[in-house]
Every structure is written in structure tokens, then in C-alpha cells.
Structure 1
């Protein structure tokens, strides 16, 4: 078991990258579900890094249809990156609450920049029903929450790629996606050519979640300082997590999701964690937010015994 002593809480209130409204209220729903109390019960201190609020869509410029709200999303991600850097410099474990998944561009870029200054790189485990490797040229919707992983690997809109700094934030050999089951037709060639390992739900069914996570951890820790775990709640089956904007049937079970977080924590090489895409507008009695809190506890080292 590995448990940090102090967590830096980064709350990002944004839904500009998503296709449906409401996910900007995700951090509030997670807080109402008791995130701070549950973390403190583990004996872990909390440092509030301050809230990051995106402008409302009604007063924002949609911009080009193939990358909606690009300027605003890039600015929010820049703020997330800066808070990640501040958290790491303070010796804290960054915990990011979203917000739509486009914010991961800022969180991963910030972590990568911190270690790049030490001439080290990071790994990434991306838990999601989608592969999030669209570019403005391939995206059928133009929603940027479907583009962050491509941008982190150096593909996509220049405004997003610029957040990486001098080089891509991660290398494909250190990146694994877990839980994919809905990939856009135009996105598939990008994924197939990327070098990223993708565990679809079909492969998880065949091999078992434990073996898939073990391989993901091996890739994420191969020659790296450690890894970031980015957890999109739509990776779970909608019967487990109704409160997400892009639900896809046939997802992870409650226990499979927990095992991912538990195994990541046990490595002692989990550098930061984020949970995104909780949409309380679509939830039932805040169940998805409460599940997100449970997953955070597992990632921070809570065990059954």
C-alpha cells in the first residue's frame, strides 16, 4: 500500500469540451459526496489549490466547428497545468476533479513538465469508454473532450499541442487506454497508427482486468518517473455510473474500476490522479459522484483489509 501524506485538490469547473451541459458541476457533486472527509479519513492532509472556472458557453466564442471553444479550453488547460506544477513543487500528490476530459491536457502536461525539468518522462493510464484521440480533422462533433490524448502525443490543434511545451507530454510506448468500446470511424486509423496500447472491453472480457492493468502499469513505468491515472467515469457501465454525458453500454463493473485504482496505488509509482466527466444533471441521487469518491479513496491507498 502506498499512501501520500498530502493531496493537492485541483477543481476544474468546465464543460466547454463536452457535447452536453452539466459536467462543469462535477467538482461540486464530488465535494457534496464527501471527497474531503473521505480523504481525511485515510490520514491524508488536503491542500486546496483553488477553483478553476471556465467561462459560460453563452458568453464564449464557439469558434471553428471542428474544435469548439478552442481558445477558452486551451486557457483553462493552461491554468490546470500551472496548478499541477505548483502542487508538485509543493511536494503534494495532485488530485484533479473535473470537469470534462479535455482538462487532462493540462494535468498531464503539467506533470510532464515537472519531470522534464529533471530530464525524466512520465507514463499515462487512460481509463475511458473512448480513445480521445480525435483531431479537428477527424472529429465528427468538434468537441475537444474527444481530443486530449492526441494532443498530449503531439497531434491536433496547435493551440492544444503548445501546452506540451518543447515536446509531446508522453510517448506512445508509455500510454495505455483501458475500457475502450466506442471509437469514431475516422479516429480509428489515428489510434491504430499511434503506438498506444488499447485494451478494449472485448479484450478485458477475454483476458481479465487484472492482466490488462498489470500490462498497462508495466508500460507506464518503463523508463519513467511514474505515471498519471486519468479516469473518465464513462468507462464504467451506465448501470454503475448513470451520471455521465456520453454513456456507452458494456463498460467496467464496480469492482473492475476499483481494481484499476487499487493496483495503481500499490505500485508506489502513481504520481497523480484525476476523475472526470461526472455530470450531476444526468445522475441519480449523486450515485456517480459517490462512486468517484470511492475510486479516489482506492487510488490513495484505501484497502479492504
Structure 2
């Protein structure tokens, strides 16, 4: 990625879930040295600052079971515009969250420039809930469904139509899937590599297969959406919804190294770093390390 011009876009959003603190994620990642880590790996890196969000909006349900719907919608509209402008300028958007509901805006902005976008969803969860299936009403558990055009109209109408085809999605690391999400995975034929496949076949085989799969779909870009809870909480304690039995630190670096070698990744976001729940900024440090591997950092 030596020829890449990167724009860092911070999204200090915590409206998509109930645990406070994840809005400080972009600051924690910057404090962990993301810009310094990447500046030798790319042609240029520019920090665009944080998307301005209205933090004073009431945390209400607005007549639905979706928590903080107006705030999530407003923030994602701003993010979509920023991401779209970044791609228009020929720059690589590197989005720092914030909770995973921000992927709604990221994908909406990207899909103004891609007609057949592929998505790698590196996460303990599939994030395929809707208002009808969600046990919590937390929108950070819904962005992948929204991207397919499923869910509340306020969310699906951000950008133009569905943003990604179900057959262009690859989920890696899933180990906490709600019943409604499981049904949707089967109905839509979404490619999901659970921890079973990673344990049985190894991360190398899983990533090779995932990359081949997206290549067979003739995608014109690939977005990486990496939730830090995809890793085992032993390595990333500072996340709001930790799930035991996750991907290891070294497996994750291998996955990022292989994505770098593939040359397929055209945008990325790293989300759900919550410094309040963290240990000495450990989770942000891991996020920055994984970004280093994604952009081509090597030991020798």
C-alpha cells in the first residue's frame, strides 16, 4: 500500500449501544500512535479529525424499539458524506469508531463509488438484526442488515438503496449469533466463517478461501469492517460486548497480513474500542498493530 493516500476519519459515536465510553475510541487509537505507525507504510496519511456529532440529542427510542435512532441516523449521514468525499479525492478511508453502528454511514458513503462492493466483517457477531429480531434494540447489532436494505427506513435510506449484496459479504470470527440472524444467514446464503472453521481449518485456509470467494464475485472493491471484539477478550478487553473463545492476536495479524498481500482492501474501519473498559489502552494498541499489518508492516 505504499502508493496509498490515507485519510483518518474519527467517529466518536456511542449511540448505537448502551455502554458509555466507546465514543472515546478514536482518541484512544490516536493516542496509541496510529498516525506514526502508518506514516512509513503509505505515501501520505492525513488525519481529518472527528465527525461532528450532536452529543446533546436525547437518548430516546423515538417511538420504536431502536435506541437513539435520530442520533444514529444523523451521525451516519455526516459520516457517509465524509467517506464519499474521501473516495472522490482518491484517498483510502480509514474510519475509527465508535460503536459498530457507524458502519451504516461508512458503507453508504463507499457505495456511491462502487457498484459491486465486497465486505469482510471481522466480528464475534454477524450484526444482522433488525427491529423485529433484536433482543436489545441496540443499532450496533444491525449495520450489516441495514447495508443489505433491511431495517428501519431512517437507516436504510442513508445513501441510495441497498449498499451490499448478501453474496458479497464474508463474516469472519462469528461466535454469538441471535436466532433471527441465523435465519437470515441461511435465507440469504451469507458466507460466514465461525470459530469452528477457524479452529478446524486454521486462519490461513479461512483467509485464502475468503479472498478467493470475493474474487469469484468480481467485486470492484473490498471494505474491511473490523470489530475489536472479533478477537478473544484476552487480547482486547476494552470492548462493550466481549465473547470468550475468539480469534487470537497472532491469527488476527496473519489475517491482516494476508489481506495486505491480496491487494484487495480499498477501505477499512476499526470499531468498538472502549477505553473505560480497557486495561492500559491495550485494545487500542492491538487495533493499531493490526492496522500496521493491514498496511504492510513486516518484522524484517
Same fold? TM cut 0.5: yes
Asked if residue 288 in structure 1 is aligned to residue 292 in structure 2, the reply is no
Q: Which residue of 1 aligns with 2:153?
A: 158
Which is worse superposed, 141-150 or 255-264?
Answer: 255-264
Give the Å deviation of 1:247. Answer: 0.2
**Paired residue secondary structure (1:136):** coil
Residue 217 of structure 1 is matched in structure 2 by 211
Cα deviation for residue 79 of structure 1 reads 1.1
User: Which residue of 196, 200, 212 maps to 2:194?
Assistant: 200
Q: CA RMSD in A?
A: 1.5
Q: Any idea what SS the aligned residue of 2:277 has? A: coil
Shift of 1:43: 4.6
Shift of residue 58, structure 1, vs aligned partner:
6.8
Per the alignment, residue 12 of structure 1 pairs with 11
Using a 3 Å threshold, how does the CA distance of structure 1 residues 168 and 58 change in structure 2: closer, same or farther? Answer: closer
Aligned to 2:175: 181
Secondary structure of the corresponding residue to residue 163 of structure 1: coil
Matched, 1:34 2:33: yes
Distance in 1 of aligned mates of 2:265 and 2:290: 14
Comparing 29-38 with 260-269, greater Cα deviation is found at 260-269
- Greater CA drift, 83-92 or 60-69: 60-69
CA contact (8 A) 1:152 1:164 kept: no
Matching residue of 2:93: 94
Separation in 1, partners of 2:172, 2:19: 23
Cα distance between partner residues in 2 of 1:100 and 1:50 = 17
> What is the match of residue 48 of structure 2?
49
For each residue in 1:161-218, what CA deviation from the matched residue of structure 2 results, as whole angstroms up to 9, or x when unmatched? Answer: 11241x3111111111000001112332122212211111011101111111122222
Provide the C-alpha distance between the structure 2 equivalents of 1:152 and 1:303, rounded to a whole number of angstroms: 34
TM-score, normalized by length of structure 2? 0.95
Alignment of 1:82-161 (within 5 A): 82-115=81-114, 120-161=115-156
**The one of 222, 231, 238 aligned to 1:227:** 222
In structure 2, list runs of 5 or more residues that go unmatched.
Answer: none
Aligned to 2:121, the other structure's residue is in SS state: strand
Q: Secondary structure at the match of 1:274?
A: strand
Q: Distance in 1 between matches of 2:145 and 2:32?
A: 32
2:257 alignment partner, one of 247, 254, 262: 262
- Cα deviations across residues 211-250 of structure 1 (Å, max 9, x unaligned)? 1112222233321112000000000001010000000000
When residues 53 and 61 of structure 1 are mapped into structure 2, their CA distance, relative to the original with a 3 A threshold, is farther
| Contact 2:120 2:222 (8 Å CA) reproduced | yes
Provide the residue aligned with 2:245 in structure 1: 250
> 2:3·2:42 contact (CA, 8 Å) conserved in 1?
no
Measure, in 1, the Cα distance between the counterparts of 2:42 and 2:117: 27
Segments of structure 1 that go 5 or more residues without pairing to the other structure are: none
